[in-house]
């Protein structure tokens, strides 16, 4: 996908997710710093960033924030700066949370992939 295929809104919201991720750059190693935003009708409904290694990831924090607000994420658009993890470590896999909600997730690719772009296509 070329940058010309991204809308100005895609660029805006991914930039904001990156800004959130930067908050964790010194506290998340050995994990990556990740940011996540959830939108409905181009309105921000929840956000999260991975704050510290061993604690919930950005995606889980954003989902928890939406739940705390009593907002359904069904039909939402999600921007996350790294594809959701699909392995169980100190925290459960983030991909499982998205799968259970049947959401599409947009992310930046990473060098070592545990969840390929092709696998991301299964979200309805």
Catalytic positions, please?
A: 59
- DSSP characters over 62-110: HHHHHHHHT---TT-EEEESSPPP-S-SSS--HHHHHHHHT--EEE---
Tell me how far apart the terminal alpha carbons of the chain are, to the nearest angstrom: 20
């Amino acid at each position: 996908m070329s940058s010309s295929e991204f809308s100005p809104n895609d660029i805006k919201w991914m930039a904001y997710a990156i800004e959130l991720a930067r908050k964790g750059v010194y506290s998340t190693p050995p994990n990556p710093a990740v940011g996540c935003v959830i939108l409905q009708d181009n309105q921000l409904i929840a956000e999260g960033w991975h704050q510290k290694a061993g604690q919930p990831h950005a995606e889980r924090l954003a989902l928890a924030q939406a739940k705390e607000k009593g907002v359904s994420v069904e039909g939402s658009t999600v921007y996350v700066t790294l594809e959701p993890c699909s392995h169980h470590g100190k925290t459960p896999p983030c991909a499982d949370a998205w799968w259970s909600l049947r959401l599409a997730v947009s992310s930046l690719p990473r060098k070592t992939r545990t969840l390929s772009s092709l696998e991301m296509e299964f979200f309805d």
